[in-house]
Amino acid sequence: MQNHLIFNLRTILIFALVLFPSFIIAQNPTGPKTFNVIECEGEDLRIDGVLDDALWQKAQEITLDYETNPGNNIPAEVKTILRIGFSKEYLYYSFEVFDPNPRSIRAIINDRDKLDDNDYVSLFLDPFNDSRRAFFFDLNPLGVQQDGIYDEQVSGGDLSWDAIWNSAGRTTDQGYIVEAAIPFKSLRFPNTEEVQTWKFIGIRVYPRSIRKLFHSMPVDQDNNCLLCQANQITGFKGIKPGRNLEFTPTVTVNKFDERTEFPDDPIDRGQVETNVGLDARWGITTDLTLNLTLNPDFSQVEADAAQLDVNNRFALQFPEKRPFFLEGADFFNTPLQAFFSRTIVDPSYGAKITGKIQKNAVGLLVARDQVNNLILPGFQGSQSTSMDQQVDNVIARFRRDIGKNSNVGLLYTGREGGDYFNRVGGMDFFVRPWDPITIRAQYLRTSTLYDSSTVAEFEQPENTLQGESYNLQIRYDTRNWNSRFIFENRNSEFRADAGFVPQVDYRRYRFWVERMFWPKQAKWYSNFGMNAGGFGRQSTSGTLDMAGVWTSAFFNGPLQLNYWINPDIIWQQYEGTTHKLVRLWTGFDIQPLGNLGINGWINFGPAVDFANSRKADNLQFRIESDIRVGRHVDMTINHRYLNLHLDGDEIFTANLTQWQAAYNFNPRTFFRIILQYRNTVRNPELFEDSEVHRIDQAVFAQLLLSYKLNPQSVIFLGYVDNHQGWEEIDFRELPLTQLNQTLFFKIGYAWRP
């Protein structure tokens, strides 16, 4: 009966993928308000945060009249004016922001894309006027930038995209003023001689005791398509991106010292190495962009956030931070992460074409990697390996817009080298049949052959693996009600080596329903609510992995307080035994002062001790504090604690502390220190594996001086240091000993002819 049900679900999904366009239900468009944009006469504007240019005296005033959160389209309590203009080369915008108490404005000089706790204003631009994706450009009162891509499929923004643009900001005795110039060559827009009409949204973030949002148009929160409700600006004519060429030569000098045999050998003093590379960007048309990278240096300037890796079954994931892969990354997104660019470790070259031609979005990436990083997934755990094996990567993505706000897509990923290959192909769709409802689904097939060394070392099958995966997600989002239903199925032979897929041989479902309550008039709190749901995951043969139910309550109140409490009951099977786990989670986030934020969570109750295949008692928590001193110093301290114990005896205790502090001289220059300390103490008597260390510890340190003229024109000078140490069962101790150190200097300059 169960297999028959799964077969029917799969059949329905495949037919839906092929036939769904004919079932799209027409949506009734709301009439947007249209504003005229005027062209700048004479010289380009001075971007100085002073609205004394003639353009601003003539530009139409667009006021942000609506409080959309927590209020439901009530009148905004403060005044904000947006103005937009253009020249042949630039789009200009300014915000004139009024505040009854300018001293309460929250702003800090910071690195770009870090405005979470600041006052800031935002301009969303949808040049294709199709309500599918938009560029957004944010500015805080000091002119610090944040930019990214907003995608309606996920109803969220991605800050990984960076544009080259100019901005300035200053506070006044009435509030603050920001001004910006965005080169048209930094945008994608239709190639036409006709007058263009774009969708836009003006947003103001107003963080006080209650964090409020103001919009330039009313937002129907029973319609989960934000861009569908956007207003329009019209009057763009004669705009061209020019040749849209960009060359970024880079020079990296580094010296890497390492102990060849840790810990006994002395540190091998490495040679100073110089690496010259080139990144190039060419707007082939206004619709298509080609990115090339030759002999790239993909060393990470931004240190990964530390994670605890004890008592984990599956591989950990770290975010992508390398500019070549971030450019146009949204074109490759699909419901299942079948492409994850950090699997490409050390490419000798890379090339990428991305863009949108009318209703067709396309992405093609090729890269030759000198390293083959593999995640070998299983039902209840994964393994990882890295081999010095040259592999070629090909990623191809196509998406076709259908109807007003739906699309269908195709994906292919190929990864091949020597006797090894992994190929993935499939299709997906996104549809919004009614305003509150969205449906996403994807079907993939894979073919994989491992080389003989991987087969022998990791006990993988010798024959070609034929994998299959399909998933379905249904969302319902209104102001008062939210719900999700998710179903996934992957067989045991499914592999997506160019993506991040650490678990296979399972089918799972997850559902939840949430009810939110809002005050009818302005109150001292924002909202409160509750939700409940359940999930189940089992192997494709019917063996239980996990199942559970939960309920949760939350409250959003003064001082930007968010408090939540979440009891749950989990049934977890591991190595033939099913454990019942009754747990409690609770956490908070609060901003008691403009320059201080604190958040944390705690979890206690039973858990599975995976290293010893048994049930144990668990206590874990995380606490973090964000501290700002004046307008130049930004500091974060966080600590993670995890303890497992059995009948009062400690199995292990793990601690992870990270301290990060930066002094921001101006929006382009900062000096930063990162320190990470890990410490794990184990009781060997309670471990089946007698080879475990009693104590493991590690220290990571990074010093970085950074100057960014823009996201591509950069100078970095840095130092990285790693120490490790442990104590063995017989109390032989290795104190913290330096494992390696790196000194690096990097310079890159973006040249636009």
Q: 599: pLDDT confidence band, cut at 50, 70 and 90?
A: very high
Instruction: Specify the number of domains making up the chain.
Output: 1
What are the pLDDT digits (tens) for 44-74? 789 999 999 999 999 999 999 999 999 999 9
SS (H, E, C) 590-640: EEEECCEEEEEEEEEEEEEECCCCEEEEEEEEEEEEEEEECCCEEEEEEEE
What pLDDT is stored for residue 167 in this prediction? 96
Contact 370, 338 (CB under 8 A): no
Residue 66 falls inside a structural domain = yes
Global pTM? 0.85
Q: How is 630-692 classified by DSSP, letter by letter?
A: TTTEEEEEEEEEEEEEETTEEEEEEEEEEEEEEEEEETTEEEEEEEEEEEEEE-GGG-S-TT-
C-alpha–C-alpha distance, residues 44 and 60, integer Å: 18
Residue 241 falls inside a structural domain = no
Residue 595 falls inside a structural domain = no
Residue 15 has pLDDT above 70, yes or no: no
Residue 706 has pLDDT above 70, yes or no: yes
Q: 342: pLDDT confidence band, cut at 50, 70 and 90?
A: confident
SS (H, E, C) 365-395: EEEEECCEEEEEEECCCEEEEEECCCEEEEE
735 preceded by a cis bond (ω within 30 of 0): no
Residue 171 falls inside a structural domain = yes
Residue 145 falls inside a structural domain = yes
What pLDDT is stored for residue 190 in this prediction? 82
Residue 5 has pLDDT above 50, yes or no: no
- Percentage of the chain exceeding pLDDT 70: 92
Residue 130 falls inside a structural domain = yes
The encoded tokens of residue 430 equal: 């996104």
Which three-class secondary structure state does DSSP give residue 461?
coil
Contact 148, 157 (CB under 8 A): yes
What DSSP designation does 264 have?
A: T
C-alpha–C-alpha distance, residues 503 and 456, integer Å: 21
For the ranges 130-134, 567-571, 710-714, which has the lowest average pLDDT? 710-714
* One-letter amino acid of 164: I
What pLDDT is stored for residue 219 in this prediction? 95
- Percentage of the chain exceeding pLDDT 90: 61
Across residues 285-310, what is the average pLDDT?
68
| Listed residue (530, 531, 501, 528) closest to 517, CA to CA | 528
CATH number at residue 36: 2.60.40.1190
What pLDDT is stored for residue 1 in this prediction? 37
C-alpha–C-alpha distance, residues 226 and 358, integer Å: 21
Residue 527 falls inside a structural domain = no
What pLDDT is stored for residue 48 in this prediction? 93
Residue 475 has pLDDT above 60, yes or no: yes
What DSSP designation does 116 have?
A: T
What pLDDT is stored for residue 30 in this prediction? 47
Cα end-to-end span (Å), the chain = 66
The encoded tokens of residue 538 equal: 């089992």
What pLDDT is stored for residue 197 in this prediction? 95
Contact 642, 620 (CB under 8 A): yes
Name the average pLDDT for the chain: 88
Angle at 128 between CA 123 and CA 133, to 5 degrees: 60
Which value, to the nearest 10 degrees, does the dihedral of the CA atoms of residues 113, 118, 120, 123 take? Answer: 30
What DSSP designation does 26 have?
A: P
What pLDDT is stored for residue 333 in this prediction? 86
Residue 672 falls inside a structural domain = no
Which three-class secondary structure state does DSSP give residue 7?
helix
Which three-class secondary structure state does DSSP give residue 18?
helix
The encoded tokens of residue 388 equal: 């010095």
For the ranges 76-90, 236-250, 580-594, which has the lowest average pLDDT? 236-250
Across residues 446-454, what is the average pLDDT?
93
C-alpha–C-alpha distance, residues 457 and 711, integer Å: 43
Which value, to the nearest 10 degrees, does the dihedral of the CA atoms of residues 731, 732, 734, 735 take? Answer: 50
* One-letter amino acid of 194: E
What are the pLDDT digits (tens) for 400-444? 999 888 899 999 999 999 999 999 999 999 999 988 999 999 999
What DSSP designation does 751 have?
A: B
Cβ atoms within 10 A of the Cβ of 290, count? 15
Q: 722: pLDDT confidence band, cut at 50, 70 and 90?
A: very high
Please name every residue paired with 274 in a beta bridge, in sequence order, or none if there are none: 253
Please name every residue paired with 657 in a beta bridge, in sequence order, or none if there are none: 639, 677
β-strand pairing of 66-69 with 120-126: unpaired
Expressed as residue numbers, the domain containing 194 is: 31-236
Q: 13: pLDDT confidence band, cut at 50, 70 and 90?
A: very low
What are the pLDDT digits (tens) for 195-209? 999 999 999 999 999
| Listed residue (246, 240, 283) closest to 88, CA to CA | 240
**Sign, CA torsion 706/711/715/717:** positive
- Choose from 244-258, 323-337, 380-394, 531-545 the range with maximum mean pLDDT: 531-545
C-alpha–C-alpha distance, residues 482 and 472, integer Å: 17
